[in-house]
Amino acid sequence: MTDEQNEAAVKAQVDAHFGPKTPPPPREKVPEDKIDHFIRMARKPAPKAIDSDYERQIRKAHRARLQKESSSSSSQAAAKKSGKTVPQLGEQAVQSIPPLVVPTHASTGAGQLVITDEHRRQAEELGITVGQLLEIEPMSPLREEDIKRKYVRGEPLVKPEDVEKLSTRMYELHQWYMQITKTSNRESLMVKVKEEDYFHETALSIEYTELFQLFNQDALDKSIVSCYCL
């Protein structure tokens, strides 16, 4: 190849490199709805709402009631399918246990008393004997655990064996009470109500005795009811 040919080839390459180029094809326009879709997908998802302890307890009680009704309906359906029915109280053709006849006054024989299934049922519900129900036998003396519990500062607000059965928030409040009574001489808890929760800021005093009533589902003072309402 001669020098002229080389120069011509170089000139052609330079012209091709620095000369006008073919414009690129137009970019495809992405629809607005697709852009919005990918923007939404790139955003951090909103935090999942967590139910309060009160809502969880309500749902738990509702599920237990539905399960009880379902089992009761299943039992009734099975009884109908088998063609057998369970006679209710007072409808039995033959008593399972014959009435027991006992003298009301053993020494004099001045009358007799018939003990029926209804007496047995009442005695079982009250946790006493039939004789105690009919005042034939003396009542058993009250045991210490049968006496209604009273508030004692520093002691558990519920029976010790029931502490672990408390719901989460009630357990945390109970643990706070047990700790504060050991480290402080205070007899009440101050509760602050924020302005956004009420028309103005205010403070309520909750005595520890009222916490005892709350844990034992006893009479509630208006201050605890106010806290619940606010």
- Which residues, 6+ apart, have CB-to-CB distance to 214 below 8 Å? 220, 224
> What is the structure's pLDDT at 221?
64
> Is residue 47 predicted with pLDDT exceeding 80?
no
Closest to 209 in 3D by CA, of 152, 161, 163, 168? 152
What CA–CA distance (Å, rounded) separates 227 from 230?
A: 5
Residue 90 — φ and ψ, nearest 5°? 90, -10
> What is the structure's pLDDT at 186?
86
pLDDT tier, 228 (very low <50, low <70, confident <90, very high otherwise):
low
CA angle centred on 74, ends 72 and 78, rounded to 5°: 120
Q: Write down the residue that tokens 């106010």 correspond to.
A: 226
Whole-number average pLDDT of the chain = 76
The proportion of the chain whose per-residue pLDDT surpasses 90, expressed as a percent, equals 4
> What is the structure's pLDDT at 178?
92
Closest to 172 in 3D by CA, of 211, 206, 203, 228? 211
Average pLDDT for 34-39: 84
Model confidence over 171-182: pLDDT tens digits?
A: 998 999 999 999
Amino acid at 92: Q
> What is the structure's pLDDT at 172?
92
What CA–CA distance (Å, rounded) separates 202 from 191?
A: 8
Beta carbons within 10 angstroms of residue 210's beta carbon:
22
> What is the structure's pLDDT at 19?
75
What CA–CA distance (Å, rounded) separates 117 from 96?
A: 9
> What is the structure's pLDDT at 105?
43
Any alpha helices (H) in the chain, and if so which ranges? Answer: 3-18, 32-42, 53-82, 117-126, 130-133, 168-183, 208-215, 222-229
Average pLDDT for 15-31: 80
Does the model's pTM come out above 0.85? no
Residue 50 — φ and ψ, nearest 5°? -105, 125
Model confidence over 67-108: pLDDT tens digits?
A: 888 887 776 666 666 555 666 655 555 555 555 555 444 444
